[in-house]
Structure 1
């Protein structure tokens, strides 16, 4: 959806479709007096002869957007030292006209700055941009003044074309432009660009949820659908807690549950401790702790490979007597897990097995059957989205000449390759910040030996395509960007760029995203002034309940009612939803890999766009509150237990190298646990990698 943002554009004022050459255009009448007339040879009275010489000698190849910014750069570069450059910034700060109190609004705040910074923009009658800015820090105010003086007088289109690299070419030096100030300076530029986009016309707006200590408020139908379940019906909570406590049932659920389910579970967890909402790997760990505490049954809210992992890990821990139940008698599928059970993946593993010194790194979100048969074909270790980078880089560092085969998630594999290609352009010190055992040379050397499967995607993360990313760039270029490691390259690149250049992004698992939001909120709470943080949530929307509870807990503990967090859902209006939710839906149905169909068109504001942008996973929606209550009611009675046989995880009776399929499938998981514990690949795995091909 798009909403028009208010902008002071005079009625009838035309925005030029072609840019006037920078050297001949005149500034708006309201341009600050300290700005020289653009296109004239007149130089600002404070520019010294030395600065003019520096402009000639130092800056001929630097493409600054305006002559005034060129002059500012000349002044700074001609300064004899860092103290003089800081003094010049303070002079600019003093010349900057004060911003009115009415303009110091949350809407004009620049996120990602240590100090408070405000930026606003308006169009003059001639279609040129006039900027105003302010800060409670004098140095930040000086940096803002550079942008005000250097960019005022451009058209909005020209502002959007300004290369952020020009900020590093101003000659401020590392002592003045520290890392935090660099991030803040870049964020100021992004804020100016966002306002320029708004002045051009329609600015895309996604649904969002505003979280404060007092409560939540929603904008847009999709956000309203998420918001309505954050305060659950207490009678339903009572009924669930009664069943769980009486029958000692533990519940492990994935972050991607619907808000209705998570709202009830979160409230019930305050009275029954054996409820855990987490990433897929931690679900199994939580189930073991529940069994240790005396739970006799575990309800798993997730897709089938999650319940299979829970069953297998419980068996390995000696709790085979503890029952495990899924939430449906039919399959609860996963397009990504099924991609790893295809003929194409079998062929991929065969190639890996025929290549000496190979390691297969398999995503945890696959079945035990996949893990078992993969390890039979080639030495295999599992990974999560939060440890995949360290797993792969450690393997390359620990085993000389190793070949790493990642699968089945194509997007994660492609993103890994892109990340490593980026690392290959950095200095050795920067590479070591990512992994201490690597250098630029070692990263370049490993690139030809990294392969990834090219035919596996999650249907949810697949929807974060190019169109939604373009809308994010247009409307949220100055917000914090969070992306799951499984999303397509466009969203991954956006978040990586925001992380690398401005400290405003995160790429990782759902837990990584939650930790990132909490860290940024912690920084805001350490400041004495009001703040409103905005995060674009580039992953499944089901984790919103965990975000709300985490954020509200922090806000209430800090007793801050002047800080808020806005979560933006990048969801297109054209949504899809399952036919089990659609009432009277018309039009062609789309078949998902397990036969669950989807219908184009929004249903109550929920769904995922066919063009890009996620709402929720249709498979996860099979884990409904009704299903959970139904399973709990049947536990403990002979008739109910008989009905629940179909709800148990798929049994694996086949043998693989003398082990059951479940036991064999646990080996790659145990290799990962060994890696997490010791920081290196287990000796048994390394021996397998280096000797298996020779033995064959």
Structure 2
């Protein structure tokens, strides 16, 4: 926590007021990508820009450490921009950045191609999931390491391990024909306990709507229980209500078995856990949404399904006119690239503006893809970070020698209680130096490596390990992704419990 002198504290009010006026005039910080290079507007954007062109010495040092250790690295899109920038410059082949589900698949591919261990850059439940995926594919003895000895938590995953979630699932278990749809961003322990109580299938933010629609069409008189992300659940309810207002023909194009009547009936049987959220996406609140409507009415709007309803509504409204998307990190990346590619192919010379309604770490893959797309064209693309104008800190530096005020509350995470967030403090526990330390231990094995192994929190469920039971909802989702239907065993479980 930044500590301020008494004189600085006395001046914090006027400084903050002045900063708010400046931020209000300039709205939100942004990065612009064009064939001429990158440019930043605002201190927060400048800090992101600094990491997009990594230092060659850092890249070479990490490349060498990976070759010596023969390790693979899987990292999440929300990783620290500095570390993402370095990872993107590596020549070592076993490095992959994606959303949480794809991280496990990438680890399996690396194992098949010769990686002798996997380092997971993310929060703890991601390392658990990567390990479970490897074990399910025959790589039970391949070690998975985190890069922090401390617990790398997640507010959303923690909410699913609270007593309130268990009590909510007990209500589901008491109702006939219940299906629990649990977000992938939860621990194996959560998935195992849920499966023991209620038939459960995992979902991602990319496939959750398809999962809900298929479940209601495939199982008569079903009640769906979605958790733990309250915002995503309420946003899904909003999407279902919006779909129910479409014509029968429009709905059939989305799902052949649904009509306005079936969707309205589904809304009456769709339950959402009321006490779970991600601390990052929680910050995209009403103030941010209002500023977007005021200053960025002509922009393209993106929003992760986990954001609060106000921010979701802005992007959802834009999506109806082809100028926005709501969904997963991958959906957001694909949408931005698709619009940019169309502009390049048609020779458009106007600047495209996109609001990045998710964690700021996404800027690294977005910029790298855009640089490839706009190279040699006259198209420029601006990426806007919707950080609240209240999300500022007084640094204590003199105005003429440094930054007196910077984006981000004094906790350092770029968030404001009024809305608008920059980064996830848990993801930022993964750093270059921490990764280097673990790779050194892998190259020269030491007993201290045990501190970096994901926690083994296992118990018995009807004679089976919780890791085995916790994998069932994930396997249900994988089969659904392949066939488009709920697995037969899952449907039978719903009907017989």
Distance 1:633 1:648, change over 3 A: same
| Alignment match, 1:568 | 384
- Summarize the alignment of residues 349-364 of structure 1 with structure 2, pairs less than 5 Å apart: 349-364=169-184
| Alignment match, 1:553 | 372
SS of 2:443 mapped into structure 1: coil
- Summarize the alignment of residues 495-534 of structure 1 with structure 2, pairs less than 5 Å apart: 495-500=315-320, 502-534=321-353
Checking the alignment, whether the CA contact within 8 Å between 1:363 and 1:409 is kept in structure 2 is yes
TM-score with structure 1 setting the length: 0.66
Which whole-Å CA distance do the structure 1 matches of 2:445 and 2:160 have between them? 37
- 1:343 pairs with one of 163, 176, 187: 163
- Summarize the alignment of residues 441-480 of structure 1 with structure 2, pairs less than 5 Å apart: 441-480=261-300
| Alignment match, 1:295 | 115
Checking the alignment, whether the CA contact within 8 Å between 2:217 and 2:257 is kept in structure 1 is yes
* Structure 1 residues 598-623: Cα deviation after superposition (integer angstroms, max 9, x where no partner): x94375xx611221111000000101
- Backbone CA RMSD of aligned residues: 1.9
| Alignment match, 1:686 | 491
Of structures 1 and 2, the larger Rg is shown by: 1
Deviation at 1:531, TM superposition (A): 2.6
Deviation at 1:236, TM superposition (A): 0.8
Residue 210 in structure 1 maps to residue 210 in structure 2: no
Which whole-Å CA distance do the structure 2 matches of 1:676 and 1:369 have between them? 23
* Structure 1 residues 79-128: Cα deviation after superposition (integer angstroms, max 9, x where no partner): xxxxxxxxxxxxxxxxxxxxxxxxxxxxxxxxxxxxxxxxxxxxxxxxxx
Deviation at 1:652, TM superposition (A): 2.9
| Alignment match, 1:643 | 448
Distance 1:457 1:438, change over 3 A: same
| Alignment match, 1:627 | 434
- Summarize the alignment of residues 36-185 of structure 1 with structure 2, pairs less than 5 Å apart: none
TM-score with structure 2 setting the length: 0.91
For CA contacts below 8 A with separation 6 or more, give which structure has more relative contact order: 2
Deviation at 1:300, TM superposition (A): 0.4
| Alignment match, 2:13 | none
Deviation at 1:523, TM superposition (A): 1.1
| Alignment match, 1:400 | 220
Deviation at 1:203, TM superposition (A): 4.8
- Summarize the alignment of residues 238-249 of structure 1 with structure 2, pairs less than 5 Å apart: 238-249=60-71
Unpaired runs of 5+ residues, structure 2, are 1-18, 398-407
SS of 1:361 mapped into structure 2: strand
Which whole-Å CA distance do the structure 1 matches of 2:21 and 2:206 have between them? 36
| Alignment match, 1:234 | 56
Which whole-Å CA distance do the structure 2 matches of 1:204 and 1:465 have between them? 19
Which whole-Å CA distance do the structure 2 matches of 1:345 and 1:4 have between them? 43
Which whole-Å CA distance do the structure 2 matches of 1:621 and 1:208 have between them? 21
| Alignment match, 1:668 | 473
SS of 1:226 mapped into structure 2: helix
Which whole-Å CA distance do the structure 2 matches of 1:437 and 1:341 have between them? 35
* Structure 1 residues 354-382: Cα deviation after superposition (integer angstroms, max 9, x where no partner): 10000000000000000001000000000
* Structure 1 residues 455-491: Cα deviation after superposition (integer angstroms, max 9, x where no partner): 0000000000001111111100110000000000001
Deviation at 1:540, TM superposition (A): 0.3
* Structure 1 residues 568-623: Cα deviation after superposition (integer angstroms, max 9, x where no partner): 0001243389xxxx9999xxxxxxxxxxxxx94375xx611221111000000101
| Alignment match, 1:106 | none
SS of 1:385 mapped into structure 2: coil
SS of 1:635 mapped into structure 2: helix
Which whole-Å CA distance do the structure 1 matches of 2:328 and 2:42 have between them? 26
Residue 610 in structure 1 maps to residue 426 in structure 2: no
Checking the alignment, whether the CA contact within 8 Å between 1:573 and 1:602 is kept in structure 2 is no
SS of 2:265 mapped into structure 1: helix
Checking the alignment, whether the CA contact within 8 Å between 1:574 and 1:601 is kept in structure 2 is no
